[in-house]
A and B are shown apart, each in its own frame.
Chain A
Amino acid sequence: MFGLAVRSVRRRATAFVATFLAVFLGAVLVMAFGALADTGAATGVSDLDQETLTTMAVVVGGWGLLLVAFAVTSTLTLSVHQRAMEIALLKSAGATPAQLRQMILGEAGLLAVVGALVAVPFGALSGRGLLALLKRTDQVSEEVAYAFGPVALGTGLGVTILAALGAAVVTSRRVAAMRVTAALSSAAAAEPRPKRMGKARVIAGVVFFGISLQLSVMAALAGPEGFDAMQFAGSADIMFGLGLACFAPVLMRWTTTLLAGPILRFSGASGYLAVLNLRQRTAQLASALTPVILFVGIGVGTLWMQVIHNDTTPLSGVSASEEAVETLNFVITGMIVLFACIMLINTLVAATTHRRREFGQQRLVGATHRQVLGMVAAENLVLIVAGLGFGTIAALPTVLPMSYAKTDSWLPDPEPGLWLGTAAVAVVVTLAASLGTARRVLRTPAIETVARAG
């Protein structure tokens, strides 16, 4: 079956781009921070430098690790589910569930290994860049030599490949257990998945919330001096965002309930279809909610945290190291936010491209291009509202304790400009990715999209 997996990946290269991209970018991100640990572990590095490098690698890289694992898992799950029809065909041709599991695992493994290996040189370069930045900002002394070694390779290859394989095992079980007839009939291929959430999701969500809460408490108690509060608060939003992501389908359903009325009233047939889709296929549409929440949460959280820090540090005391930390914070936030942003585009493009057949069916019943695009826009509007709302909530575990630690007040000064800027980017990216893809999909004549089943 591995041979089949190799052929499948080669033949349908485009279908695997999303997973590949997630693995590749994730590995680059993790390797860059892993390299800092390698650098610190080398002999001849002073204790102080070693501590700085290791802390950064563990604290920032550790959270990045979880983020990457999450992204790879969700992208791979999406791509396997999109191929339910093809898998059912193989099953009807006599493939046993064990063979199918092998095939999905083989594909995932192949993609992950290739993606992670390709990432090695880029990861090494990014790590070098990070170190250069640390040196330039006097965080680390000039003579430290860059090392790219076992930690970078181990974590970079390890987390991406393990996350991919883990997701493949879970997803392939579920897909392989599906009845052939159910998967083959076109109506069932798009059958709404059960509305109940899996236990594992709930547990994972609660764990993430717990960690976030603990980080918040530690930040709040860290006191106004130095960077202690920042060190804990900086990761609380990522954790809370991941926790919210575990409940994405539920959050999507709430937002849909809230917005269904106005959408139905103001947007005609497009809104009608959008609301029905949102209600029936919450899980599929919720897959894009995670990156929006993370993007907004981390963006708003970290930037705001930095603003609070700057505002409370006396002007006279602005040292070179303050500026350095600020720059560093922006770079790190930038890397993680950029990763979330690319994941968002990735997910939206993959999910929208997969709806080719659905769009075709709507067009055959008489939907104009404008009506299909209107439907996609309305659905993404709900996504955006949910993402902005819950993303802002995800930022609070970072912002509130930071404010308390620095000013003794839980409520920081409002930063409308910062929030609006982040929100604007989220809105533009979401709409551009989904509507752009939908427009491209609509170029194929409707009758062809329906004939090309699957």
Chain B
Amino acid sequence: MTGSQTTRNAPEATEALRLVRVSKTYGGDGTRVTALDDVSLALPRGTFTAIMGPSGSGKSTLLHCAAGLDKPDSGTVFVDGQELRGRSETELTKFRRERIGFVFQQFNLLPTLTVLQNTTLPLKLAGRRVDLNRARAVLERVGLGQRLDHLPSQLSGGQQQRVAIARALVTAPSVLFADEPTGALDTHSARDVLTLLQESVRVFGQTVVMVTHDPVAASYADAVLFLADGRLVGRMSNPTAQAVAERLTYLGDEVARQRRQQRHQVGLDASVATAGRPRKEI
């Protein structure tokens, strides 16, 4: 059975990211919170996917598990066809710096390093040759070619986030994850950052996964996945801000309905509810 499952779950070469039945709970007995409940998904290379949902829906946990920053309780994550499970902290760190880029809401630039030094840091840590021309080119691309020697504290929020994106892109990662990248930015800077992410997908074939709660931000993506209560509950291709906003409004109702159904089912037959039907993979 394990064999057949492995074959079924084996990622295809065109996939950048695959999650197979990933679950994660937080807290102890009394305060148990299910952040991710049996989530499976697969994202092809060169796509821009937004993950949306109300707060507490598990968006960030999903991103952290997918990026190897957090370990799921069960299930498997494949990045670029490589399984993350069973790696030590150090192995995971090394894997991350080779294949994964991450952009945070709060930028997380190192305050003592200049723009150029921040950008090349992942290469230094990986012991790779630092190609300054390439780093400069990436910074040029994000519009900071003139600011190489500035410290983060001398830049605006939007500029800091663009440095963070340059830092994530410089290693040419298989997947670039972004956790609310525009959450701390004004509308104008947010648009710059989103255009930049979109461009990295369309022009350079980068794979980008972005968590956001902003329908306008989501509309820059090729597809939107909706998450509620730790479960994937829907998908939308070629999203527009309006359609996403509408969908989000109804998401609450949908989830409430599903919960009622589930409770009903549990009431009827506990075993049916726990075994569950295999959820459709998105």
Whether B93 pairs with A368 at a CB distance below 8 angstroms is yes
Shortest CB-to-CB span from A275 to chain B, Å, is 10
B96: which A residues are within 8 A, CB to CB? Answer: 366
Count contacts on A: residues with CB < 8 A to the other chain: 33
Of the listed residues A189, A363, A365, the one surrounded by the most CB atoms of chain B closer than 10 A to its CB is: A365
Number of A-B contacts (CB under 8 A): 87
Whether B127 pairs with A268 at a CB distance below 8 angstroms is yes
Of B104-112, B196-204, B262-270, B274-282, which stretch is located at the interface? B104-112
Q: Nearest chain-B residue to A360 (Cβ)?
A: B108
B106: which A residues are within 8 A, CB to CB? Answer: 186, 450, 453
Contact flag A281-B112 (CB < 8 Å), given A364-B69, A447-B64, A447-B70: yes
B160: which A residues are within 8 A, CB to CB? Answer: 187
| Residue among A190, A192, A365 making CB contact with B121, cutoff 8 Å | A365
Shortest CB-to-CB span from B135 to chain A, Å, is 14
Whether B107 pairs with A365 at a CB distance below 8 angstroms is no
Whether A191 pairs with B122 at a CB distance below 8 angstroms is no
Shortest CB-to-CB span from A271 to chain B, Å, is 10
Contact with B along A266-294 (1 / 0, CB 8 A): 00110010001101110000000000000
Whether B70 pairs with A450 at a CB distance below 8 angstroms is no
B134: which A residues are within 8 A, CB to CB? Answer: none
| Interchain CA distance A189-B110 in the complex, whole Å | 11
| Residue among B90, B97, B109, B117 making CB contact with A187, cutoff 8 Å | B109
- Chain B CB within 8 A of A446 CB: yes
Contact flag A362-B93 (CB < 8 Å), given A272-B124, A276-B117: no
Contact with A along B145-171 (1 / 0, CB 8 A): 000000111010100100000010000
A277: which B residues are within 8 A, CB to CB? Answer: 112
Contact flag A362-B107 (CB < 8 Å), given A191-B153, A367-B93, A445-B70: no
- Chain B CB within 8 A of A81 CB: no
| Interchain CA distance A447-B153 in the complex, whole Å | 22
Contact flag A368-B69 (CB < 8 Å), given A186-B106, A187-B111, A361-B108: no
Binding site for B on A (CB under 8 A): 185-192, 268-269, 272, 276-277, 279-281, 358, 361-371, 445-447, 450, 453
List 17 interface pairs A-B (beta carbons < 8 Å), by A numbering.
Answer: A185-B157, A186-B111, A187-B107, A187-B109, A187-B151, A189-B111, A192-B112, A276-B117, A281-B112, A364-B102, A365-B97, A365-B121, A365-B122, A366-B97, A366-B126, A368-B90, A369-B90
Apart from A186-B107, A365-B108, 13 more pairs, CB < 8 Å? A185-B153, A187-B153, A187-B160, A268-B127, A279-B112, A365-B125, A366-B94, A366-B96, A366-B125, A367-B93, A369-B90, A445-B69, A453-B106
